[in-house]
Chain A
C-alpha cells in the first residue's frame, strides 16, 4: 500500500515536472519567434524578410474537415502559382496551416501560434463557430482574418472587428437571390416553405428567403418545419398534398443526408412542383441520391460553377489544379481557398505592404472578380457585408447545369 502510494506520488511529481519543462521549453523556443514577429514591421520596409507568411487555421480533422480540407488544397495551389510568377512585393509567399481540429479552443490557439510565427493574415475555418476564435486573435494582432465560406451574417466586422472578412455571400444574399430569381426569372408568385430546424444555417436561410419573397409581393402559403435525422417526411407531404391551391414552388431549406430522402418522398408521391434551395444542394451525393428519375425541376443558389466553360480564369484554374493534384476538384470549396489567397495577396500588392489596416482598406475598396463570382465588401462600419453574386444551378434528370450569376437587388438586413 505504502509503496504503491509512493510510486504514484513519484509519477505525479515526474509528470508535473514534465509539464513545467515542456511549458518552459515552449516559451523558450517561441520567444525568438515572437521577437521576430514584433520586429517584422520595421524590417518589412527594407524587405530583409525573405517571405510573406499567410497562416491558415483550417480544420483537417473533425466535422469541419469536409469544407476546410478542400479549401486548403485550393489555397496551397494559389500560393504555388503566385510563387511561380515571382511572388508578392518581391517576396515568396508561404502558406502555413495548423490543424484547427474542429474545436473552437484549438482554432484560437492555432491562430495565436501562427501569429507568433509571423503570419501576416489568417485564413479561418468556414463556419462562424469554428472560425470566429481565429478571427478574434487576428483582430487582436491587427491583421486581416478571412473565412473562405462562412455564410453566417455574424461573420462581420461589427461582431469580429474591422479587419475581419468572410468571402462567402451571407445567408441574407443566398436567400434573397433564390427569392428574386424565383419571382423575377421563373415568374413564381406563391411558395410553400419547409425549414430544417436542426441547425442555424437552414433556419436563417429560410428566414431571409421569406423576408425577400414577401418584399417582392410573393405569397408564403405555409411555413413548415422538418428536423434533420427524423427520416420521415410524410406529415409535411400530406400537408402539401392537402393544399386546395397548389403553390408555384417549394422552398426546402435542409441538407444532406435527409435532403435526398425529402425530395425523393415528394417526387415519389407524384408531386412535381419546382423545388428551390440553397448551397447545401450543391452536393454530388444529392445528385446521385435523386438520379435521373427524381432529380428534375430543382433550382439552387450556390457559390460557384466549376467547369472549364464558365470563364477563361476558371479553365486556367482547372488546368493548374490538374497539373498539381491530377484530376478535377472533388468539391467546390477548393475554389474558395484559391480565391481567398488571391484576395489576400492582391490586397498586399494594392496596399504595398502587409500592414493589416492597409490590407483591410484595399479589400474594402476593390471590386473583386473571383472564380466564386463578383464581390464587393461594404465598409467596416456596415459590417463588411459581402455583396456577392450567387451562382444559379438547375438540376435536370440528376445533372446539374449552370444558369448564370444572379445578384439580388435588395438584400434583407441580417
Chain B
C-alpha cells in the first residue's frame, strides 16, 4: 500500500512527460486515422525532430554547454543503422567495396536502430571524456571541431558511407507509428534523466560549477554521462531519419541540420524538456503554416512575381521576435506540470498556499 501511495505521489509531482506526450499522441492518432500522405509525412518528421531536439536538450540543457557535435552523432546513428538494416543486394549496389564481414548482415529494423544508437554512444564515450573537462567557449569550439571531424570521416570513409556520394537503397521503415513511439519514449527518457541524481548533479554543475564541485560533484563524470546519453538518443534520431528519407549523403548531417535542431531547442527553451517539445512543435507549425501561405499566394498569383523565400524570412523574423521577448526561450527552464502537483520539495510555497491549491483527496482516489 505504502509503495503504491509513494508511486502516486511521485506521479503527481512528475506529470510533465504525460502532459507533453498525451496531446502529441492524440495528434499522431488523429493524423494516422484522418490525415493524408502529406500530413503523415509532416508529423512523422515532427517526431523525428522531437527525438533530435530532446536528445540535444539532455546534454545541452542540463550541462549548459552548447553542443555543436550533436548532428554528428545523428550521422553516425544513421549510417550505422543503415549498414545493418539494408539487404545484402542493396549493399552490393550502393557500397561495392564494403568490408566482407558486413556484407551478409541483414537485421530487422529495430535491432539496427539500436546498434546505430550504441555506435553513436560509443563514439561519444570515447571522445567525450576528455572534452568534458572543457567549459564555456573552449567546449563549444572543440565540440564544433568534433562535428567537422565526424563529417570529414563520413565524407571520406567511402567503404562504409559511399563517401560524398549519396547512399541509396535504404528501406523505408520509419512509419508515423514508429516515430511517434520514439518521440514519446524520448520525452520520458529526457525528463527522467533530469530528475535522476546524475541529472541533478549535472544541472548543479550548469548553474555553478565551482559550488557543485565543492560539494563533491564530479563534473567531468556527470557531463560525460549526459553527453553519452544524448549521443545515444541522437543515434536513434539519425536511424529514424535515414529510414524515412531512404537516400542521403554526409551533407545531410552538417550545418543546416545543426542550426535547424538548435533553433528549435533555443526557441522552446534549452532548460526544460517542455521547452524542447514546445520549440519543435512551434517551429514545425510555423514553417508548415508559412509554407502553405507562400504556396497559396503564389498559386493564386496575388503578386506579379512569386514570393520566393517568404517562409524563411518570416520564420526568421518570428524567431527573432520570440527571442527578443523571451530570451531564454518560450518556456525558459520551467516544466509544464499540473498546477496542483507542485512538489513539496520546492519549498517555496507556504502550507496555506499549498492547501488552497491542491486537492489531495481527489488525487488519492485516482
Chain A interface (Cβ < 8 Å from any Cβ of B): 1-2, 4-6, 8-9, 11-12, 15-16, 18-20, 22-24, 26-27, 30-31, 34, 60-61, 96-99, 101, 103-106, 108-109, 112-113, 116, 128-129, 132-133, 136, 152, 154, 159, 197-200, 203-204
Contact = CB atoms under 8 A, between A and B. Distances in A.
B282 A27 contact: no
Contacts of A109: 38, 41-42
B177 interface: no
A105 B45 contact: yes
B344 interface: no
Contacts of A60: 306, 308-309
Given A8-B334, A113-B295, A129-B251, A99 B339 contact: no
B320 interface: no
A154 B166 CA distance: 9
A26 B27 CA distance: 13
Contacts of B26: 20
Given A2-B357, A112-B41, A133-B245, A19 B337 contact: no
Contacts of A11: 330
Interface in B260-296: 274, 278, 281-282, 285, 288-289, 291-292, 294-295
Nearest to A25: B292
A24 to B, nearest CB: 8
B361 interface: no
B23 interface: yes
B42 to A, nearest CB: 7
Contact of B34 (A15, A27, A128, A152): A27
B36 A30 contact: yes
Nearest to A102: B256
10 contacts: A5-B337, A15-B282, A19-B285, A23-B30, A24-B30, A30-B36, A103-B256, A112-B38, A113-B38, A200-B163
B345 interface: no
Q: List the 5 closest pairs (A to B, CB-CB), nearest first.
A: A200-B165, A16-B23, A60-B308, A112-B38, A61-B309
Contacts of A154: 165-166, 168, 247
B36 A27 contact: yes
A51 B41 CA distance: 28
Contacts of B245: 104-105, 108, 133
A23 B29 CA distance: 12
Contacts of A16: 23, 27, 281
B227 interface: no
A195 B36 CA distance: 46
A159 B168 contact: yes
A23 B31 contact: yes
A97 B301 CA distance: 12
A129 B248 contact: yes
Interface in B304-351: 306, 308-309, 311-312, 330-331, 334, 336-337, 339, 342, 348-349
A16 B30 CA distance: 13
Contacts of A101: 291, 311-312
B123 interface: no
A22 B285 contact: yes
Contact of B295 (A12, A98, A203): A98
A132 B42 CA distance: 18
Nearest to A133: B245
Chain B, interface residues (CB within 8 Å), range:
35 or more
A1 B292 contact: no
Q: Residue among B35, B295, B330 with the most chain A CB within 10 A?
A: B295
Given A99-B294, A99-B308, A19 B357 contact: no
A124 to B, nearest CB: 13
B167 to A, nearest CB: 10
Nearest to B346: A1
Given A12-B274, A129-B247, A136-B246, A23 B336 contact: no
B259 to A, nearest CB: 12
A26 B336 contact: no
Given A16-B23, A61-B309, A99-B308, A6 B339 contact: yes
Nearest to B22: A16
Contacts of A26: 38-39, 292
Interface in B156-191: 156, 163-166, 168-169
Contact of A198 (B27, B38, B164, B349): B164
A27 B336 contact: no
A108 B36 CA distance: 14
Q: Residue among A1, A12, A20, A30 with the most chain B CB within 10 A?
A: A12
Contacts of B256: 103
Interface string B347-365: 0110000000100000000
Given A20-B30, A98-B295, A104-B252, A129 B166 contact: yes
B186 to A, nearest CB: 18
B214 interface: no
A353 B306 CA distance: 31
Contacts of B337: 5
Contacts of B285: 15, 18-19, 22
Nearest to A72: B306
Contacts of B339: 2, 5-6, 9
Q: Residue among A98, A105, A198, A199 with the most chain B CB within 10 A?
A: A105
A105 B247 CA distance: 11
A12 B35 contact: no
Given A15-B282, A104-B245, A104-B252, A31 B36 contact: yes
B37 interface: yes
B6 interface: no
B141 to A, nearest CB: 19
A194 B166 CA distance: 22
Nearest to A158: B93
Nearest to B165: A200
Interface string B29-60: 01100111111011101000000000000000
B295 A19 contact: no
Nearest to B295: A98
